[in-house]
Amino acid sequence: MTVAPHRDEPPGEAAARPGAGGGAAPRGTAFPAAARRLRTKVLPAIIGNLAMTIIGVIFLLPLAWLILAAFNPHASPGVVTPRFSLANFTQALQSGASGAIMNSLYLAGVSTVIATVVSTLAGYVLSRHYVPLKGAALVVIIFLTGLPVTLLLIPIYQIFVSIGWLDSPFYTSLVLAATSVPFAIWLLKNFIDQVPREFEEAAAIEGSGQFRVLLTVVVPLIMPGVLVSAILTFINSWGAFLIPLVLDANPSDTPGAVGIYQFMSANGQVQFGPLAAYGILFSLPVIILYLISSRWLSGGFSFAGGIKG
């Protein structure tokens, strides 16, 4: 703390005492240290916090609306404190929310498993083996991560028509997996690149074949990467709207992201309450997924102790 010396103290005495207060301030300037502190520390902090609060409120408002509207049987676009009621949830569930969420779980689960397995294998090969034109292949993969799905949807639809894959949740999840694979390959290849080869060599000389090395040594070491890739794939498939809408017209296969549109009728009437309740129900699995995996993710990515350094 920097405090100016007491006024009733002779200035000479204060100056002679080293470390007493914030240096010998000449008589007459009132609390210069405090003024400086206000200017350099307090004011910027106030402005910064104010700005963050405003931004935070902007972000929180829609969320607040969602939660308040979900419990308000007479919900409207305005943010109002409701008379607490679960009627919206009942209505959302009665109009097929649970079935749609199960469909979404199926699509997201299957596509996540497929995409993660495929990307781990591809990432391992791209990281460790000689592949002709590997550099070009990696550039193409990066390019694919930026390719809009909309562009591919019509050709995919025609392919599905010709091989009879339409209206099948499994084949639809294959397409969902394919949209996530390029980024997942890129992510996992970079994780595998970080794993020192000595681990694999040690496992190989102990008698492990390639698959065993991958499963027992490489995958456990890149688990955080595998989880990140799986979560991203899951979220991508979970929120997918266009692909399941186009490829699977069977009403009983409707996933959550498509099903939510039943609360917005064609003539502009929106049932805000059930819509909000449905939105909350639909977000829950992803939130639970985050909570479960955060324990693993925070474990970090470390080879500590395995090799020197």
Partner 1 sequence: MATITLEGVSKAFKGKPAVDGVDLSIDDGQFLIIVGPSGCGKTTTLRMLAGFERPTSGVVRIGGRVMNDVPPKDRDLAMVFQNYALFPHMTVAKNLAFGMRVRRVDRKVIDREVASIASMLGIEALLGRKPAELSGGERQRVALGRALLRKPKAFLLDEPLSNLDAALRAQMRFELKRIHAQFPVTTVYVTHDQVEAMTMADRIALMEGGRLQQVAAPEVLYSEPANTFVAGFVGSPKINLIPGQVVRDARRPTIRSMSCDIPVDGTAGAVLASLPHDNVVIGLRPEELRPRRPATGGLPAVRGVIELIEPLGSETHVALRVGGHVLTCKCPPRAGLEVGSEISVEFDPEHMKVFDGDTGMRLG
Burial string for 149-169 (b: 16+ CB within 10 Å, else e) reads: eeebbeebbeebeeeebbeeb
Give yes or no for residue 309 binding partner 1 (CB under 8 A).
yes
Structure-block tokens of residue 187: 């992510």
Give yes or no for residue 85 binding partner 1 (CB under 8 A).
no
Q: Which one, 163 or 205, has the nearer CB to partner 1?
A: 205
Give yes or no for residue 1 binding partner 1 (CB under 8 A).
no
Nearest distance in Å: CB 223, partner 1: 8
User: From CA 192, how far away is CA 124, in angstroms rounded?
Assistant: 6
- Please identify which residue in the block is written with the tokens 């909570």: 291
First to last CA, the chain: 42
Among 67, 204, 235, 297, binds partner 1 (CB under 8 A): 204
Nearest distance in Å: CB 290, partner 1: 23
C-alpha torsion sign, points 153, 159, 160, 162: positive
Helices (H), 146-222: 149-163, 169-194, 197-205, 210-213, 219-221
* Listed ranges 5-13, 132-140, 151-159, 208-216: which one lies at the site for partner 1 (CB under 8 A): 208-216
Give yes or no for residue 307 binding partner 1 (CB under 8 A).
yes
Amino acid 157 reads Y
* Listed ranges 71-79, 207-215, 278-286, 290-298: which one lies at the site for partner 1 (CB under 8 A): 207-215
Give yes or no for residue 303 binding partner 1 (CB under 8 A).
yes
Residues lying near partner 1 in the complex (CB under 8 A) are found at 196, 198-199, 201-209, 212, 216-217, 220-221, 302-309
